[in-house]
Amino acid sequence: MKTDSIFYKIFLEFPSSFFDLIGEPSIKESNYKFASQEIKQLSFRLDGLFLPKVEDPNLPLFLVEVQFQPDEDLYYRLFGEFMLYLKQYKPQNPWQIVVIYPTRKIEREQPLNFRNMLNLPELTRIYLDELGEAADNSLGVGMIQLVVQSEQKAVPQAKELIEKTKTQVTDQKIQEQLIDLIQKIIVYKLPQKSREEIEAMFELSDLKQTKVYQEALSEGRQQEGANLVLLILNSRFPELPSSITEQIRGLSVEQLENLGKALLNFGSEEDLRQWLEENV
């Protein structure tokens, strides 16, 4: 998955993250739709547009450009294509262009031609490594920054975001969607790891909020549920005897769910053995 694709997925599924990112949290995301529009004359498409859904001339439209590779022609293309868009669609709203960079060293300003345009109040340039407190205070901004986080810091940050999601988002469906999106970002960040390895990085309490774990239990796939529990157990107790492994594989869905809750408190393999003796 390309970097810009994961950003656009975040903006599509969690649009308030964009308005937090540009420092406009008071803007109601419900007034906007995230879309792409084709410029028919030259057959190209502007992929990242936040368009007002209501007829309010005070609401700006936003063009979002995610740029993670140096591009000497970026501003030539960006301003040229957007001016054609304005000419073709003649929107009845003011406009804002937002360009998102991972760091300043990626940007190629071309000051000879664009110095004045780069200073326009209608242009906002965001450097994700300079967000500071904004990433700490906003769930959405933190999720965006996760995309550019180092591999060593990505999983701990993802866990923090999952905890924030649990405490800050009360709608269960939205909570599940956001946790699933966080996991997708981690999959994007760690393409060399399997799904099972990535799931093993998280505690079971996190996994229980994801579609992976819920589907394994709710749809009756007992074997997949057993595999998931064993994956977590093996990450904590690497040399489980085959007798215990087979015993766990024979547990019912309800027993697996109870074991999943209990294993968070296990300090040793003996705690697991005792639980099995008392509950199986």
The answer to whether residue 80 scores a pLDDT higher than 70 is yes
The answer to whether residue 6 scores a pLDDT higher than 90 is no
The answer to whether residue 136 scores a pLDDT higher than 80 is no
What does 98-156 look like in DSSP terms, one character per residue?
EEEESSGGG----HHHHHHHHT-TTEEEEEGGG-THHHHH-HHHHHHHHTTS-HHHHHH
CA angle 43, 48, 54 (to 5 degrees): 105
Residue 153, both tokens: 């810091």
What per-residue confidence (pLDDT) applies to 230?
Answer: 81
Structural domain boundaries of the chain?
3-192, 204-279
Q: What are the φ and ψ backbone dihedral angles of 97, each rounded to 5 degrees?
A: -110, 130
Greater pLDDT, 180 or 70: 70
Mean pLDDT of the region 184-205? 67
Of all residues in the chain, the percent with pLDDT exceeding 70 is 83
CA-CA distance, 67 to 101, in Å (whole number)? 5
Mean pLDDT of the region 207-217? 50
What per-residue confidence (pLDDT) applies to 44?
Answer: 62
Greater pLDDT, 265 or 182: 182
Mean pLDDT estimate for the chain: 82
Its pTM stands at 0.66
What per-residue confidence (pLDDT) applies to 1?
Answer: 35
Mean pLDDT of the region 128-143? 84
Residue 105, both tokens: 């060293």
Max CA-CA distance within the chain? 76
What per-residue confidence (pLDDT) applies to 196?
Answer: 65
Relative to beta strand 61-66, strand 44-52 is: antiparallel
Using 50, 70 and 90 to split pLDDT, how confident is the model at 100? Answer: very high
Highest mean predicted confidence (pLDDT) among 98-112, 141-155, 225-239? 98-112
The answer to whether residue 267 scores a pLDDT higher than 90 is no
What per-residue confidence (pLDDT) applies to 217?
Answer: 43
Using 50, 70 and 90 to split pLDDT, how confident is the model at 219? Answer: very low
The answer to whether residue 271 scores a pLDDT higher than 50 is yes
Q: What are the φ and ψ backbone dihedral angles of 52, each rounded to 5 degrees?
A: -60, 135
